[in-house]
Chains A and B, each alone.
Chain A
Amino acid sequence: MSDAILTLEHVDVGFDTDDGSVSAVSDVSLSVAAGEIFGLVGESGCGKTTLAMATMGLLPVSATVSGSVRFQGRELVGLPPEDLRRLRGDRISMVFQDPMTSLDPAFPIGEQIAETITAHRDVQRSHARDRALALLADVGIPEPERRYGDAPHRLSGGMRQRVVIATALANEPALMLADEPTTALDVTIQSQILDLLRDLRQRLRTTIVLITHDLGVIAQLCDRVGVMYAGQLVEIATVSEIFRAPRHPYTQALLAALPTQHQEPGSLRVIPGRVPNLIAPPPGCRFASRCPHVMDVCTIVPPLAHESADHLIACWLSEATREAGRPTGAATGGAA
């Protein structure tokens, strides 16, 4: 993709623990186009956040990242820490899940925004302050002048998340990683924040990668979506395509688990089995042990392949995957 702003190729992330190395992200390749909202969906612990942290260069030292993360054509893996710091908060910014804990309790909210500006721009404090006030107004904080010096605890959760988003937008980043930005908020506030993100995208043309486990949020906001399971990326498609015709058995099971209006109370559908242990994950497709269509070939990692122009799937059921896996499939399988 020529207009890709972020390209991940064969990204692996492992964590060294006392019990062995955890494979948190395995061979993830994806590409985010400039200006789009790309959703990354999957259950807790599937590697969504780890992937975002790897992009930001914020993983702890116990993590090892391999593969390639290119942002605006620049390779980020192996970039010196100071260069990464200059990108963070400037070209790439991040919104965290819980606004109750992602703002410094001993720091006035306005100054947290101003700090983001002065960390990257050689500007006067008064200029940073003016810009912070404008941002606060921009994200819908009433009376920004009065609010500027407030400590975070004086604001409600929704207001805090607006501040966090204002901070993320401070330097007009090209890419914003939003890690479960609405999960800690109640439903009304959730929809306000989603409206805000949609509105900001429209006005500022910021590319957003939205990480969530909530398919409803994906449906409301995203253009395309990648589905992750146990560290592997199993399917990428446009949002309408995912909901209309999910191809990967995991995506299908995930959508089938969504409660509907006609459902009997107390009869939620679940996916039988459990997520494999990522310290010694089974070879091949990690969903195999829970998959109703499991085959012998599933012990070989299925490559992510184009079923159509904008629908990629990594499952041996797919003709495209079989096609892509044929020449090198045996070699890949041997390595895994």
Chain B
Amino acid sequence: MTLLQPWILLTLPLALAPLVLYWLRRRWTERRDWAAMDILLQAYKTAAPKQKQSDVVQLILQTALILLAVVLVAQPVFYVSQQTEVPNSQTNAPAELHSVYLIVDDASTNAPAYFKAGFEQLGKDVRFDVLTPDAANPTTAQNADVLILHRVRSVPQWLAKVVENRGTERRPVWIFAPHNLDDSSRQLLKDALPPLAGEPSKTAQPYETLNPRSLLWQTPDFEPLAGKPVPFPSLINSVYESTAGWSAAFSDSSTILSRDGVWVFSSSVDGTQSAWSMSDLWVPLLDRIVTISLSAPSTSSTIEYKPGTTWLSRVLAIAGLVILVTLFWRFGRKPSRYSQRERRWGWVCFIAAGAILFIMAIQATFKPVVWVKPSILFLDDDSQSMNLPQLPGDAQTRNQAMVQWVDKNTDALEKLLQNYRLFESSFSSPDAVTEITNAADWKTTLEKRSADAPTSDPAGALAHGVETLSSQIDRQTLSAAFILSDGVTVGQPAPDSEQILVRQRQSGVNPKVFALALGQDNPIPNAAIENVKLDSVLFAGHENELEFQLRADGLQGKTVKVELTEKERRSSEPRVTGSKEIKIPSPQFVAEQSFKVVPPEPGAYEYKLQIVNRDDEFIQADNAVTRQAEAEERQIRVLLVSGSPCWEFRYLRNLLARTGMVKLSVVLQNASKEYVKEDSCALESFPTSAESLNEFDALIFINPVLDWLSAQQRDSLREYFSPELRVASSELRENSTRKAIICFWNAQTDFAPVAALDGRLIPFDVSAASAPSGKIRSAAAISPLGQTTAWLQLSSKDKFDWSTLPPLGAVVSVKQLKANVQTLLTTADNASPLLTVHDVGNVRVATVLTDSLWRWRQGAGEAIYTQFQINLVRAMVKPSADSRVEKPVEDAVVPEEWRNTSANSAALSEMCKPTGGFAFRPADSQSILDAVRPDAPRVRVVRPPVAIWNQFWLLALLLAVLLFDWSRLYLK
């Protein structure tokens, strides 16, 4: 047992105060001439020994009194040392796993599938939610059994708060590949995480260094692998590196770190990396994640303090009182050494100290009672659907109708303000709750607020707003929440009344929810062309299908005319190749339609679908859609060879498989069979004969394991780019194809096998002093030569800004290229090439010195990545097609929420009903008064009792009183 508390060390020296005061007094001596020295010496001999004893007793009593008081406030505590205990699935029976919440930036990747499959293999019947940070629900994330952040780029504030909360509760958060985070998110998470040993500590709580290796490898599943060479050496090595601090964890170095329930997995141990997810380690790792998550907190050594028993505190307080009384008695003895005035002060101080000790002895608590105004929250919808007309054909938007409603009800709001505190927030930032001090100001705020949020989520906004406001007003007296919305949601789940009730029960705040339903449930007249499908590669002289969807709202009984125009890019004259008149039978009509497209000859074409404009339409921008297509004589035949199913391979394979331009074959050298079977275009092995290899127009290598090729396969590859078959580029006819090899290398690739096979495949000299080395993270930049290359113009604008693309990882750093190599792209610092082309025999070789081009999909979207890859393949195979490579045509952008022009008052009603509220229309101006009693009395709030007897300030007061008195007497 120890009496130590983190802060007690600060106060314990105060116990020395009497000694210090005594010592100071001995130091400060007055000089006085004295005549009756003989008498004085005689008196000194008699009295001094007795007085010294008395002083010692006095000092002991005073010191003991301070010590007792300090310990009393600190409370005697029991010290519990928890050794590092790793929950073991075999010994600890974890609680049931109910929910896994996976937050990813791009839900369309394979990561969710691997996670889901892994958890399914664990045999757990779990609810598995995959959401992006924007769509995720804080409450669910907070309460999920397992929370995983996977390759998240941007972490919103609320998610950092969730991480912090879960860390405080010792509930794990698993952060995979934190190097993906942008700088601000990385800092946000670092701040949210509890500090590690050696890092600046936010609290005085001691932490011990944690060895993640012991945490991860203690299970029988991993033990056989520990320290042994396994197929994934980088994984094992990375696990051995550890505990370098969060800064290291968030860098690109390989670490696994855990502290107080937050686990960070760096890139190399990314559980969804190809090698991982295909291996037998993936499922055991997920099992460990589940076990640790459900068994938290018990994963780190901690020092826990538990308050001592009440009786011990009482005994201490009474002992303190006894000492005080003793001191009091000694002080009051006569003859006193103190003057009358000093004694008077002394009485006052003794009485004050006695009162404080009495408070400590009876362990007094304070029950604060306050009277507060009840609160009302207004949540206004600021999504783009609020810019739609309030009524069909009306010039007033829903947003303006909302402002008008506030204006009309200014008096009612002012009445409410007399008895309520009014707060307002918007759907896009429900956490930013501000208090309304007068109705006119609020109206001005609403007028200035632009409705430009892309989507709205009434239920989510309600949850966030209520939670934020509840914390602001201490979870008390939230009488009502008003939602000012049209109820339109896109990409968000419809408001779930049951979920709202559950959330309110969890938060302990149950306001009635009312909704001002804006807009009309009838759709606004509009026709739109959507979901246009046209292969990007067509074949000349053949019929190709152009499919589209016609959506018509509020145009029942009318006819919509759609025209298709075709334009060969080089020719400036578009011509109408198809026209349809479609009669609209119902108010909300959606029909699949199609046109036949027959490109007369090979070339680049633009096809434009256009609804002939109508005067009664509100939205004109969605009436036209343009698609580009390339008419070819035949498909480009591509063989994609990858060493492992890495991200670059997956994205590129999916892309090439989707595009009709390419006839794709795939060889995946190192992967489980189940995975390969997913791919219908897979070959069993790399072609062994030159004839079969020469059928392919292009070979794409992504970190191939060339060592694994047989002698026959190597020979066929050598023949593929045989110098004897060299053909000058000038001899190539337009649209003719030639052989091409495209290589993607990462920084860790060993180039030796390639050099052994044929060094001409790689653009630099492996044996030279300028041998390549790994370089981490770099953005791309275009070289002067690249700027003149047509197929690298990825934007319809004049110049594409390459710096806007996300940075790449694991770039091969090359200082010196071979003489005949052309550099098209470089790293941002221009120190190393990123994309090079050179000719080997009749083969055009393009080398991409990274295998993380897929990162361009993050943030920049899929379009740029797709365009680059398609352009690359086509330009390599058809050099003369440079001028005809795809340039995007940008159609007018229509807000997502405008797809549904009908307001959804029913959804709002559903939200309100279970809480006892209701939805009302702007015309029901009195509803607000009916809904909320304007004369609501203030609410008496009894706050939780606060123990005042063990407060630091009380101790400080006691010490101040005692030390004031003693210093006054000692140092007078």
Physical interaction between A and B: no
Name A residues whose Cβ lies closer than 8 Å to a Cβ of B: none
